[in-house]
Amino acid sequence: MLEIRDLCTFYGKVQALWNVSLQINEAEIVALVGSNGAGKTTLLNTISGLLRPASGHVFFLGQQIDGLPPHAVVELGISHVPEGGRVFPEMTVRENLEMGAYPYQAWQHRGETLEQVYQMFPRLKEREKQLARTLSGGERQMLAIGRCLMSRPKLCLFDEPSYGLAPLLVAEIFRIIQGLRDQGITVFLIEQNVRRALEIADRAYVLENGRICMEGPCAELLESDHVRKAYLGL
């Protein structure tokens, strides 16, 4: 579904991604794990069209998408839940959700999708008229996920959805992410919470200093000496 080939991304003269290649198949949860500063957000932003790669390519359903503007990437079916569950703070919950439905097809179906999102997150329905800035961290993360779903994506990109949340909420968010896969939505999950990510994903890639250094089924990575020492504290 998504194929990344030899991607290199720079900030000015500083190279953040070095020949990153990976692929994601339909209806998989694929994790990308790595420590702070490894380049995880840079990779997601390059897929979303927020950053342009210096070289390499991104293909989605056979179409080259690197170089497309972010709105065109969303229209093709890739939606991004940004780091920290960023939402529009001065808009209400409902307005935030409706903003997510701007692609033409999604706008046609926005009523129906809104009902599905409210079913998934009853707390958002209870708070639909509240300004997003008044939400708790967990509710904001749910709103960001809901807004992503409003575009009726085929592929969801999650940037550290568990960051800063209490363990119970982390478990809930991860359950929701697994539920998306069961609905046929493909997930690319970026996490510093390596153990949790490897527990719910099918396959994973490990990113270190902007380079993919390991990949494989999660069960294998959980057993690997390097992952155990470097990320699981074992």
Binding site for Mg ion (CB under 5 A): 40-41
Beta bridge partners of 55: 8
Q: Which residues contact 200 (CB under 8 A, 6 or more apart)?
A: 29, 31, 174, 177, 178, 189
Pick one of Mg ion, ligand ADP, none as the site partner of residue 97 (Cβ within 5 to 8 A by kind): none
H/E segment holding residue 176: helix 167-182
Is residue 104 a contact point for ligand ADP (CB under 6 A)? no
Shortest CB 112 distance to ligand ADP, Å: 34
Pick one of Mg ion, ligand ADP, none as the site partner of residue 56 (Cβ within 5 to 8 A by kind): none
Shortest CB 70 distance to Mg ion, Å: 17
Q: Pick the binder of ligand ADP from 19, 25, 37, 133 (CB under 6 A).
A: 37
Contact region with ligand ADP (CB under 6 A), list: 37-45, 57-65, 108-116, 142-150: 37-45
H/E segment holding residue 17: strand 14-24
Shortest CB 126 distance to ligand ADP, Å: 32
Write phi, then psi, for 11 (nearest 5 degrees).
Answer: -110, 105
Number of residues that bind ligand ADP (CB under 6 A): 11
Distance CA 207, CA 226 (A): 13
